[in-house]
């Protein structure tokens, strides 16, 4: 493999300044022309443990856009693991390409070799446009992958992500609206993928009126027909008159243009990096009286699930941790009020305080470290 030659990276950012700003330990570029692999892996932090984070496949317009995604998402995974109480750091991978036409066994096995080259410092899993089959192909080249089927595997993490999002929506509605359930509330769900589908199912079952959309209209219509939700066009979802907006697609949907259009009381969804600019747009939401559930807190359920594979999978324990997202969010909202800060600033503070408390015992995570942990958990 070789480093990707990108003509667009400098167009979108100063690479090394960005690495300093985000605080990454390392960022690696991979290319395998024979399989068509073009990928980036970011290891943000291994202070709390090996960096775990999913790999998404997306047809980015510019390579610089893919790098921006890696930098933001991997840092978010560090904070997500820290707030969730997991002994893991944060990482993320992206494969540049069209998931509908370019997937192949060879491509994902080549990516598996890339993951293996990090020697256990990075453990991957599913993300946008990747699935259990893809993880199985990766597994043929490296053990440092979770979310696979079979003994010790937990399979698709999206139901757990969605359950955590559902618990987080209820906590946010409790804080903002004083309601113990979402029954009778109007919820606008952006996205119709695996996570969004399960979120919609939970909400409809609980008595909410749900509206759903997706850039792929067929997926949204299918989900609406299956669950009893109502389909709306993508351009209409953010300006809908509703109680709850639940972004469950790609990030940066909350920005200068969209926030003034919102007609909701709270935002709580599973998408990563919903705020185009964390402080600026978090403040814009607060100024409008809209309560924001920090995305990496509310969507931590899937990470909790795949993280369980590292030390020995236990579904019941994972579900209890998913339900704990409810109390974690209420704690964050209380902290935000007490300190007069944004909710995302409160969640960041929780993460940073935990990381700082163990930074002095930080160790480098290597292949040997992860293998020894795996053998210990399996009793071998």
What's the Cα-to-Cα distance from 199 to each of 31, 185, 239, 278, rounded to whole Å? 36, 14, 20, 24
- With the C-alpha atoms ordered 91, 96, 100, 105, is the resulting torsion angle positive or negative? negative
Using alpha carbons, select from 221, 239, 238 the residue that is nearest to residue 230. Answer: 221
Q: How far apart are CA 266 and CA 67, in angstroms?
A: 30
pLDDT score, position 89:
95
pLDDT score, position 309:
79
Strands (E), the chain: 26-32, 37-45, 51-52, 55-58, 89-96, 122-123, 186-190, 209-213, 230-231, 244-247, 266-267, 291-292
pLDDT score, position 154:
65
CATH topology of domain 158-302+309-319+325-354: Rossmann fold (3.40.50)
Q: How far apart are CA 214 and CA 73, in angstroms?
A: 21
pLDDT score, position 151:
55
pLDDT score, position 56:
95
Q: How far apart are CA 256 and CA 281, in angstroms?
A: 7
Tell me, rounded to whole angstroms, the distance of Cα 214 from its chain centroid.
18
Q: Which of 92, 170, 175, 321 is catalytic?
A: 92
Q: Tell me where in the chain the CATH 3.40.50.10860 domain(s) lie.
A: 9-81+88-139
Domain 9-81+88-139 has CATH 3.40.50.10860: yes
Q: Tell me where in the chain the CATH 3.40.50.720 domain(s) lie.
A: 158-302+309-319+325-354
pLDDT score, position 362:
60
Assigned token pair, 27 = 């960022």
Q: How far apart are CA 41 and CA 34, in angstroms?
A: 19
41 three-class SS: strand
Residues of the chain with pLDDT under 70: 1-15, 19, 150-154, 362-380
pLDDT score, position 100:
92
34 belongs to the catalytic site: no
Q: What is the per-residue pLDDT across 97-117, written as a single tens digit (0 to 9) for each? A: 999 999 999 999 999 999 999
């Amino acid at each position: 493999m070789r480093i990707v030659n990108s003509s667009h990276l400098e167009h979108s950012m100063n690479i090394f300044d960005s690495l300093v700003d985000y605080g990454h330990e390392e960022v690696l570029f991979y290319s395998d022309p024979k399989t068509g692999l073009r990928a980036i892996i970011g290891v943000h932090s291994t202070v709390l443990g090996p960096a775990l984070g999913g790999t998404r496949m997306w047809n980015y317009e510019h390579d610089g856009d893919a790098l921006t995604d890696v930098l933001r998402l991997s840092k978010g995974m560090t904070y997500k693991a820290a707030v969730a109480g997991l002994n893991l750091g944060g990482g993320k991978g992206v494969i540049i390409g069209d998931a509908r036409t370019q997937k192949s066994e060879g491509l994902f096995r080549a990516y598996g070799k890339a993951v293996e080259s990090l020697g256990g410092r990075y453990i991957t899993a599913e993300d946008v446009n990747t699935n259990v089959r893809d993880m199985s192909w990766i597994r043929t080249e490296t053990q440092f992958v979770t979310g696979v089927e079979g003994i010790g595997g937990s399979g698709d993490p999206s139901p757990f992500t969605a359950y955590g999002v559902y618990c987080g929506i209820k906590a946010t509605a409790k804080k903002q609206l004083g309601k113990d359930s979402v029954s009778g509330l109007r919820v606008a769900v952006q996205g119709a993928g695996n996570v969004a589908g399960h979120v919609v199912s939970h909400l409809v079952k609980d008595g909410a009126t749900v509206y759903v959309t997706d850039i792929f209209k067929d997926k949204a219509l299918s989900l609406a027909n299956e669950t009893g939700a109502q389909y709306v066009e993508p351009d209409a979802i953010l300006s809908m008159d509703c109680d709850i907006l639940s972004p469950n697609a790609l990030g940066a949907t909350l920005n200068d243009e969209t926030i003034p259009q919102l007609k909701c009381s709270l935002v709580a969804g599973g998408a990563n990096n919903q705020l185009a600019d964390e402080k600026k747009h978090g403040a814009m939401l607060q100024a409008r009286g809209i309560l924001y559930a920090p995305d990496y807190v509310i969507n931590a359920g899937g990470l909790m699930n795949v993280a369980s594979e590292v030390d020995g999978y236990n579904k019941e324990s994972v579900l209890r941790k998913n339900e704990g997202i409810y109390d974690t969010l209420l704690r964050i909202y209380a902290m935000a009020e007490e300190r007069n800060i944004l909710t995302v600033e409160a969640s960041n503070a929780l993460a940073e305080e935990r990381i700082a408390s163990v930074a002095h015992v930080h160790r480098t995570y290597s292949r040997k470290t992860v293998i020894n942990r795996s053998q210990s958990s399996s009793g071998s």
